[in-house]
Amino acid sequence: MNGQEVAFLILAVIGGLAGLLVVTSRNVVHAALYLVVALASVAGVYLLLAAPFVAFVQVIIYVGAIVVLILFGIMLTRAPVGRRVLDNTLRARVGAFVVGAGVFIMFTVFLGGAFGDERIENQGATATEALGESLFRNYVLPFEAVSVLLLAALIGAIVLARRD
> What does pLDDT average to over the chain?
80
Residues making up the chain, counted from first to last: 164
What's the pLDDT tens digit per position in 104-136?
Answer: 899 888 877 777 777 666 666 666 777 778 777
> Over 90: is that where the pLDDT of 24 sits?
no
Q: In this structure, what DSSP letter does residue 60 have?
A: I
Domains of the chain, earliest start first: 3-86+123-161 (1.20.120.1200)
What tens digit of pLDDT does each residue of 59-117 get? 888 877 777 777 777 776 665 655 555 567 888 888 888 998 998 899 888 877 777 77
The CA–CA distances, whole Å, from 111 to 5, 12, 115 equal 17, 15, 6
21-to-8, 104, 111, 112, 125 alpha-carbon distances in Å = 20, 16, 24, 26, 36
Would you state the pLDDT for residue 9? 92
